[in-house]
Amino acid sequence: MLLYRASLPLSRRTLTYATGVVRRHRQALGSKGRCLPPSMQALMTLVYLRKGETYAELGAGFGVSTTTAWRYVNETVDLLAARAPKLGSALARAVKAGLPYLVLDGTLISIDRVAADRPYYSGKHRRHGMNLQVIAAPDGTLLWVSGPLRGSVHDLTAARIWGVIRALAASGLLVLADKAYQGAGAYILTPYKGRDKPEPLKDANRAHAKLRGPGERANAQLKSWRILRKLRCCPHRAGRLAKAIHTLQLRETASH
């Protein structure tokens, strides 16, 4: 096997944070004699999330077995995911910040499944995947990401399952969403449906799309981490991975 040096487009601050999370976890466990120091375990996890490399590739690059790479990465992902913002606290911070509105959107994390696995198939996206619900600020800053549901679950149903509709109503915040959320409530604004709409309704839809567009960049932020472009692991890990990435993305944003 050939080895080479490579760069990772992340800040030193993000690595330092992840290293601290791993180090404190090891200290709490009284863990000693591991194959890699906390900094290398953290770096391995960042490589996995950002570049989507396999465990075999990670093991070769960091000089450990594939099994050890799997164990280290999953341990770190779980630690980071546990630190992702919870729905209630994310909305409370949005209220405190005085955000004029929020953007609610669903995204599909593609998975490796065959046609027989119909529960994972999204008719909207025409591929197999896991449904994640995302709440973003008007500028596209990611505020909250849900756990995973099978791709066949409708966005409005998914939002109700995770308690998003109820929490948003209680917060009093105005929310913009696409047509999939029609019927969610008067405080969630969606585009007008139907063809041959009168011009005022078309203008309203254009204004709605213009305001919602930047907020939908949150999904692009998540998928800039290549592991979420197509999962090769258990589909139900999608939520943990997304939450871990959200935790790291907050550090990346703060470093700019």
> For residue 201, what are the contacts with CB-CB under 8 A and spacing of at least 6?
192
Residue 10 confidence (pLDDT) above 80:
yes
Distances in whole angstroms, Cα of residue 19 to Cα of each of 37, 39, 47, 55: 9, 5, 13, 19
User: What pLDDT, on the 0 to 100 scale, is given for residue 22?
Assistant: 97
What's the token pair of residue 165? Answer: 């509709």
127-153 average pLDDT score: 94
User: What pLDDT, on the 0 to 100 scale, is given for residue 162?
Assistant: 97
**Model confidence over 192-221: pLDDT tens digits?**
988 888 999 999 999 999 999 888 888 988
159-163 average pLDDT score: 96
Q: Which percentage of the chain shows pLDDT scores above 70?
A: 97
- What predicted TM-score, i.e. pTM, was given to this entire model? 0.91
User: What pLDDT, on the 0 to 100 scale, is given for residue 37?
Assistant: 95
Residue 173 confidence (pLDDT) above 60:
yes
Helix axes 238-255, 12-29, angle to 10 degrees: 130
User: What pLDDT, on the 0 to 100 scale, is given for residue 153?
Assistant: 93
4 against 186, higher pLDDT: 186
109-132 average pLDDT score: 78
Residue 114 confidence (pLDDT) above 80:
no
User: What pLDDT, on the 0 to 100 scale, is given for residue 195?
Assistant: 83
